[in-house]
């Protein structure tokens, strides 16, 4: 049955192979299981979109052969897909400690994991859960840990692939969470993400003929618009609003900004 499962994986009969592999492992004594049984089970489960089963199988495979550090990457990818962000971070960090030549997108996936883990701390229900000053200090410490380590991951991506936009917008997005955290706390924001969004925009605008980067460009301009509104910088308010409306003609914040400037008789 083991060989049948292996063969059905190669023949792309994934549902049959998955059933066979599970039956084989259930009836065969554990001491006769081998590493390839669990990697095959994991690969079959992935093909059948049973990601939790695949993650469990890869864990078991690694237990059987801890030299296979590349499994950390596999597990990190699955955990990220399952929105298990802390687990994904752990897997990718362990992989990067072992991998002699990690790929740029390993750092991207690590950054995305940190970004999503940090975002947990700015949602109102989670932010307000910390009641005492001690609880909030711990809460903020965890938030900053995820933000600053995620920023490091995106910086590594930029070093490896400076021509790609992912690292620049990733840095801006994760640092912008500090702004929201400060607002939630009622503190004055230092707008730390402003120069990062400014740096990201021209890189995002390159090779964007099909408009696939428009969402990120809008995110950048929207942050800058909020900054300029706060600073009462009318010329830059107008420029940002116009740039936003070129991509999103119904954007309410941009429309309201231009309406406000017109009422002030500011020349647009």
pLDDT per position as a tens digit, 149-177: 999 999 999 999 999 999 999 999 999 99
Q: How far is 238 from 228, CA to CA, in rounded Å?
A: 9
What is residue 239's predicted lDDT score, i.e. its pLDDT?
97
Distance CA 154, CA 105 (A): 10
pLDDT in the model for residue 196:
98
**What confidence category does residue 105 fall into, taking pLDDT thresholds of 50, 70 and 90?**
very high
Q: What is the pLDDT of residue 187?
A: 93
Q: Where are the domains of the chain?
A: 1-68, 83-190, 207-268
Residue pLDDT, tens place only, 23-59: 999 998 989 999 999 999 999 999 999 999 999 999 9
**Region at 207 (left for phi over 0; alpha for psi -120 to 50; beta for the rest):** left
- Look at 5-14, 166-175, 244-253 and tell me which has the smallest mean pLDDT: 5-14
* SS3 category, 115: helix
Return the CATH number of 1-68, one of 3.30.160, 1.10.3210, 1.20.1650, 1.25.40.
1.25.40
Gap between the Cα atoms of 54 and 61, Å rounded:
10
Give percent of the chain above pLDDT 90.
Answer: 90
216-234 average pLDDT score: 97
> Which one-letter DSSP state was computed for residue 30?
G
Q: Is the pLDDT of residue 130 over 90?
A: no
Indicate the range of 41-55, 62-76, 119-133, 202-216 predicted with least confidence. Answer: 119-133
Span 246-260, average pLDDT = 97
> What pLDDT does residue 82 have?
97
Residue 243 has pLDDT above 80, yes or no: yes
Cα 222–223–229 angle (5° rounding)?
Answer: 85
Q: What angle do CA 69, 16, 68 make, to 5 degrees?
A: 5
Which of 243, 237, 242, 239 shows the shortest CA–CA distance to 260?
Answer: 237
pLDDT given at position 265: 87
**What pLDDT, on a 0 to 100 scale, did the predictor assign at position 121?**
96
- Assign 202 a pLDDT band (cuts: 50, 70, 90): very high
Q: Average pLDDT of the chain?
A: 95
Q: Which of 73-87, 119-133, 140-154 has the lowest mean pLDDT?
A: 119-133
* pLDDT value at 1 more than 90: no
CA distance 152 to 145: 11
């Amino acid at each position: 049955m083991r060989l049948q499962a292996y063969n059905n994986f190669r023949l792309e009969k994934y549902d049959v192979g998955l059933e066979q592999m599970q039956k084989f492992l259930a009836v065969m004594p554990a001491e006769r299981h081998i590493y390839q049984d669990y990697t095959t089970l994991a690969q079959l489960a992935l093909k059948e979109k049973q990601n939790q089963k695949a993650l469990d199988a890869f864990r078991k495979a690694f237990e059987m052969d801890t030299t296979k550090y590349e499994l950390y990457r596999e597990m990190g990818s699955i955990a990220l897909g399952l929105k298990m962000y802390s687990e994904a971070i752990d897997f990718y960090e362990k992989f990067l400690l072992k991998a002699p030549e990690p790929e740029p997108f390993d750092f991207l996936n690590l950054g995305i994991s940190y970004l999503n883990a940090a975002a947990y701390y700015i949602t109102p229900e989670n932010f307000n859960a910390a009641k005492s000053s001690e609880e909030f200090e711990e809460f903020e410490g965890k938030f900053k840990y995820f933000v600053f380590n995620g920023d490091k991951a995106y910086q590594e991506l930029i070093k490896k692939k400076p021509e790609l936009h992912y690292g620049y917008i990733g840095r801006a997005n994760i640092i912008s969470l500090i702004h929201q955290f400060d607002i939630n706390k009622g503190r004055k924001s230092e707008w730390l993400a402003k120069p990062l969004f400014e740096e990201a925009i021209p890189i995002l605008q390159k090779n964007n003929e099909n408009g696939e980067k428009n969402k990120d460009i809008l995110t950048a301009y929207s942050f800058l618009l909020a900054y300029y509104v706060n600073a009462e910088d009318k010329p830059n308010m107008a420029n940002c609003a116009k740039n936003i409306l070129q991509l999103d003609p119904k954007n309410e914040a941009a429309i309201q900004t231009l309406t406000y400037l017109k009422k002030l008789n500011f020349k647009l």
